[in-house]
Amino acid sequence: MLSRRSFALMGAAFGTSAALPAFARAPLGVTLPSFHRVKVGTTEVTALLDGVLALSPDYFSGVDPANMAAILESVGQDSTLETPINTFVVNTESGTYLVDAGLGGAQLFGPGLGNTLANLTAVGITPDQIDGVILTHAHPDHAEGLVDAEGKAVFPNAEIVIHEAEMKFWGDDAILAQAPDSAKGLFESARRTLGAYADRTRQVAESEVFPGLTLKHAPGHTMGHSVLHIASGDQQMMIMGDTLHNIAIHTAVPEAGFGFDTDATLAAQSRRKLLEMAAADGILTAFTHVNFPGFGKFKAKDSGYVYLPADWV
């Protein structure tokens, strides 16, 4: 067997040889736009990576610090939680729909975000081909991509579909007056982005919004937070938005709160209900803040869940 000294001697010997060719080095490339497609019956769902931001475990509440450390260690995470922002295109026989629009040009969470529009181009879809934008809710990382730097609508032919409770909340002056200063920017963002589509916004309760696409109310993170259920043939999928914000933390401790929750207790109730449904029925799911492309299934385990990422096939 060769020893470490043997390797050193071999290296010294070959290092003096002028006859050996130099290793060719491939040129560095560029990061390609990120997207991934799956089929749900005859419906095509394409995940787009808007970007990745860094969160702190401090955003999560209701988790014992020792338990938090163990959860993060079990998945190789540390005090910086690399958190994706995913958006989704749903192509059906009746139209092409974007589920959430990412951050657009807003530099609210640092550089490297707001890539939804570029990735739409990469998959061959132009903004004018989007028939509708279905919003899970109106937080900036879901709605700022609706407008350009001048505040004008990016999607000229799209109808905005949003839960009526979401519109009511962000448009309520009395709620705005009572909001802490740290939250007022969220109201400004929602009002500005939604205002660009004021003449083509459809407010709905829980209902089928397009053929095969049903918006389901899942309040708590925001009061109108919703998920999109896709049904095609005998297959189904749920795009769950911000039902969870970290797959390790929120599967181990579904009751954990998140700093941007409007009502953390109600958000936890919605999370538990949806994850139980997904686990019981084997439903394929997609999330905004699960590692790209965000597709996977759940199994119940003890008081929480196990997440099973879908294969990239």
- When pLDDT is cut at 50, 70 and 90, the band that residue 112 belongs to is confident
Cα–Cα distance measured from residue 99 to residue 250, given in angstroms and rounded to the nearest whole number: 22
Q: Is the pLDDT of residue 92 over 80?
A: yes
Q: Is the pLDDT of residue 13 over 60?
A: no
The reported pLDDT for the residue numbered 80 is 85
The reported pLDDT for the residue numbered 100 is 98
Report pLDDT digits (tens) over 204-249: 999 999 999 999 999 999 999 999 999 999 999 999 999 999 999 9
Cα–Cα distance measured from residue 231 to residue 236, given in angstroms and rounded to the nearest whole number: 4
Which has the higher per-residue pLDDT, 217 or 82?
Answer: 217
Instruction: Quickly list DSSP for the chain.
Output: ---HHHHHHHHHHHHT-SSSPPPP-PPP--PPPPEEEEEETTEEEEEEEEEEEEE-GGGEES--HHHHHHHHHHTT--SSEEEEEEEEEEE-SS-EEEE----TT--SS-SS---HHHHHHHTT--GGG--EEE-S--SHHHHGGGB-TTS-BS-TTPEEEEEHHHHHHHT-HHHHHHS-HHHHHHHHHHHHHHHTTGGGEEEESSEEEETTEEEEE--SSSTT-EEEEEEETTEEEEE-TTS-S-HHHHHH-TT-EETT-SSHHHHHHHHHHHHHHHHHHT-EEE-SSSSTT-EEEEEEETTEEEEEEPP--
Phi and psi, residue 88, nearest 5°: -140, 140
The reported pLDDT for the residue numbered 311 is 76
- When pLDDT is cut at 50, 70 and 90, the band that residue 292 belongs to is very high
Report pLDDT digits (tens) over 142-151: 999 999 999 9
Q: Which two tokens stand for residue 229?
A: 């259920």
| Mean pLDDT value across residues 282-295 | 95
Which has the higher per-residue pLDDT, 281 or 4?
Answer: 281
Cα–Cα distance measured from residue 164 to residue 177, given in angstroms and rounded to the nearest whole number: 20
Nearest to 288 by CA among 142, 118, 81: 142
Q: Is the pLDDT of residue 273 over 60?
A: yes
Phi and psi, residue 143, nearest 5°: -125, -20
Q: Is the pLDDT of residue 7 over 90?
A: no
The reported pLDDT for the residue numbered 28 is 63
What is the pTM (predicted TM-score) of this model?
0.88
Share of the chain above pLDDT 70, in %: 89
CB atoms within 10 A of CB 241: 27
Report pLDDT digits (tens) over 51-72: 999 999 999 999 999 999 999 9
| Mean pLDDT value across residues 26-37 | 68
The reported pLDDT for the residue numbered 305 is 95
